[in-house]
A and B are shown apart, each in its own frame.
Chain A
Amino acid sequence: MSDGARLPERGALARRGLTAIDGALALIVIILIVQMWLLTATLESFLAGRVSAALPAALVSLALFAATAALAAFIARVDRAARESGGAA
């Protein structure tokens, strides 16, 4: 196959990869906003003398961090796939 015929395919791959990465980034930002709210609410509760929310909040925060890390790994995988296909060049 000639380069001229492959170029549009590379471009399409790159665009698809960028769209997937943008979507994952948007999800990470939403998760971060939730995590930020969770931290402030837990801190406010702790400073008010109530400690019952600390454990569930830490567990939820851990789950949100795991989701963020999974999405980051997804971004890295898509990025690598796009680069190997030559889409990013």
Chain B
Amino acid sequence: MSVEPGKPPLWREEFSVHAGDERYVGRRQFAKFLVLTSLGMLAGNVWILVRSLFRKPPVFPAVPVARVSDVPDGGILTFAYPEAHDPCLLLRRGEDFAAFSQICTHLSCAVVYDDARKLLACPCHDGAFSARDGRVLGGPPQRPLPRVRIERRGDHLVAVGITLEEET
């Protein structure tokens, strides 16, 4: 096939992509895509901020969890609060009662009381929490155990709410 002098060959007309231009277009488009991704993440942060601003404080029911006589000194009782699928631990030391969520703040394994070390231990990744106030004593957890507020009403122990402590 002959090519007329002064005219580009047919294949160049039909495949009119210049490698140099393509490099620039690729980078430019990629930069636009990255900016849009950044905008998406900003939108995510703003969404969290809006949800935080309009967040209503949770209302917890008052639920009797046990009688005082049900928990011996140094003993432990498991109960569910605020819902039936939220396991918690109640510990008694003398006349002091402390209750915590049983769900580890690391990866949601169930924590258990380690009587030898006098702390709450997560067997999955060796997390350790204080049995006194739920703060992190060791291991991978970054946040303390949520504390269940317990009120003593006569002979009954009543769970009245959950306190989320600040990060350690």
Contact = CB atoms under 8 A, between A and B. Distances in A.
The reply to whether chain A is a binding partner of chain B is: yes
Given A50-B164, A88-B24, A39 B45 contact: yes
A83 B31 CA distance: 17
Nearest to A55: B49
Interface residues of B, number: 32
Contact of B35 (A21, A55, A68): A68
Most buried by A among B34, B37, B41, B166: B41
A6 to B, nearest CB: 15
A58 B42 CA distance: 7
Interface string B49-72: 101110100000000000000000
B159 to A, nearest CB: 17
A18 B35 contact: no
A72 B32 CA distance: 7
B48 A68 contact: no
B42 A35 contact: yes
B38 A14 contact: no
A65 B42 CA distance: 7
A72 B55 contact: no
B20 A14 contact: yes
A57 B48 contact: yes
Contact of B21 (A32, A35, A69, A88): A88
B68 to A, nearest CB: 30
B34 A89 contact: no
Contacts of A21: 24, 27, 31
A7 interface: no
A12 interface: no
Given A25-B31, A29-B34, A54 B41 contact: no
Nearest to B55: A51
A22 interface: yes
Interface of B: 18, 20-21, 23-24, 27-28, 30-32, 34-35, 37-39, 41-42, 44-46, 48-49, 51-53, 55, 105, 143, 146, 164, 166-167
Interface of A: 14, 18, 21-22, 24-25, 28-29, 31-32, 35-36, 38-39, 42-43, 46, 48-51, 54-55, 57-58, 61-62, 64-65, 68-69, 71-72, 75-76, 79, 82-83, 87-89
